[in-house]
Structure 1
Amino acid sequence: MTTESTSTVKQVTRIAAGDDRTVYDHVSITLHWLTAALVLTQFVLALTWDGFARPTHRLMVAAHMSFGIVLAAVIVFRIAWRAIPGHQTVPAVSGWTDVASRAVHYLLYAMLAAEAVLGFMLRWGGNESMNFFGLLMAPPFAPFSKATEHLIEELHEANGWAIVLLAGAHAAAALYHHYVLRDPVLSRMLPSAGKH
């Protein structure tokens, strides 16, 4: 492999891993791993609840709604935290690598926000209350048609799979950096790496 192609591979994996060559603060690290845990939990719940009978099935659906609301709040807090002066990341590269690296993060944020909105629309559009750990939130608008409800359900499912695939690529790139390139991309996002 030539030096130029090796450099390109490193740039591509840095983009996928979201590497901006900074040390993250403890709050950012905690929010990152909380987001990852919630995304994985949401995916596993949705993927497996059809294999369970009531009342377990209903409890899993209720947990999915509750954790979805928590995930939406975490995403809002992450964005707000990054917007506070002193919490922005400073890229070590410029040009397309920097733009693409940021795009991976922004795309994940946008997809997660869209997933939350679609989840609310799906539940309320079907004339059902949202459930937040037992607190019921009644629909604020009239039910959708069955065709619209079905479309939203398909979008919610497709976007969920896309989030998991993109997050998986993000994780794979970080592992590649850690075990193959042996740079600090992954280790900087571990709890022990955070700055105060």
Structure 2
Amino acid sequence: MKMQSFDTNTRRYATGYDGVARLLHWLIVLLIAAQFVIGWTMPDIHKGTLPEGLIAWHLGVGATLIAAVVLRIVWRATHRPSPASVSPFFRVVSHITHGLLYLALVVVPLLGWANASSRGWTIKLFGVLPYPSISPTGSSVGHEMGDIHGYLAWVLLVLIGLHVAGALFHRFVLKDDVLQRMLP
């Protein structure tokens, strides 16, 4: 398939993802980076811990991440990019990796949300719009979701590493335009 491109200031851009998809992609990248930094530096959560300081920041960034991921999924479902010109093998690997990334981007925040709900904490988008509770306060299952949330966050980090490695492989080894499809 022929990929359309144009030159602006001698920089080449390949068609693929539109501006909204790229914006949401990079917003999610920033939010996840913030979540990992906050998650690694915030205090441990125990019974009776209040959602203050870095924990409150983690909840707020998480609420924003949930909204951004939902928007990204809706946008992706309704605005398909032109397919990349890659071999069938790389297309399958790409679909599997992206599918696992989307799954982790949904499951990890949902587990954190369930854990917060079980602690009686309200998650608010931009500190204003409250999300509903998705597990009862005091739920032992909701508390366990917090542990699983932490473990799966590491899985998400590995998937992100594979995603970045794949993009760099395309750029520096295959020397194709796959990486440029997501660059502004």
Distance 2:153 2:56 in 1: 17
| Cα shift at 1:91 | 4.8
Distance 2:107 2:77 in 1: 20
Distance 1:81 1:177 in 2: 25
Distance 1:83 1:37 in 2: 22
- AA in 2 matched with 1:80: V
Q: Which residue of 2 aligns with 1:162?
A: 155
Q: Which residue of 2 aligns with 1:35?
A: 28
Question: 45, 58, 82: which is aligned to 2:76?
Answer: 82
Q: Which residue of 1 aligns with 2:174?
A: 181
Instruction: Describe the SS at the equivalent of 2:52.
Output: helix
Instruction: Describe the SS at the equivalent of 1:58.
Output: coil
Is contact 2:116–2:122 with CA below 8 Å preserved after alignment?
Answer: yes
Task: Structure 1: give runs of 5+ residues left out of the alignment.
Answer: 1-20, 52-56, 192-196
| Cα shift at 1:101 | 1.4
Q: Which residue of 1 aligns with 2:98?
A: 105
Distance 2:136 2:61 in 1: 25
Distance 1:107 1:113 in 2: 10
Is contact 1:63–1:133 with CA below 8 Å preserved after alignment?
Answer: no
Distance 1:76 1:25 in 2: 17
* Residues 173/61 of structure 1: CA separation in 2 closer, same or farther (3 Å cut): same
Is contact 2:108–2:153 with CA below 8 Å preserved after alignment?
Answer: yes
Question: 61, 71, 95: which is aligned to 1:67?
Answer: 61
Matched, 1:152 2:145: yes
Is contact 1:66–1:131 with CA below 8 Å preserved after alignment?
Answer: yes
Distance 2:129 2:17 in 1: 37
Matched, 1:124 2:117: yes
CA RMSD across the alignment:
2.6
Task: Structure 2: give runs of 5+ residues left out of the alignment.
Answer: 1-13, 45-50
Matched, 1:171 2:164: yes
Deviation digits for residues 66-114 of structure 1 (CA, Å, limit 9, x no counterpart)? 11111111111111112225x3442545755433311211211111111
Distance 1:109 1:120 in 2: 17
- AA in 1 matched with 2:152: N
* Residues 132/25 of structure 1: CA separation in 2 closer, same or farther (3 Å cut): closer
Greater share of helix: 1
Aligned residue-pair number: 164
Deviation digits for residues 107-165 of structure 1 (CA, Å, limit 9, x no counterpart)? 1111111112111110111222224443384746532444x244211110011111111
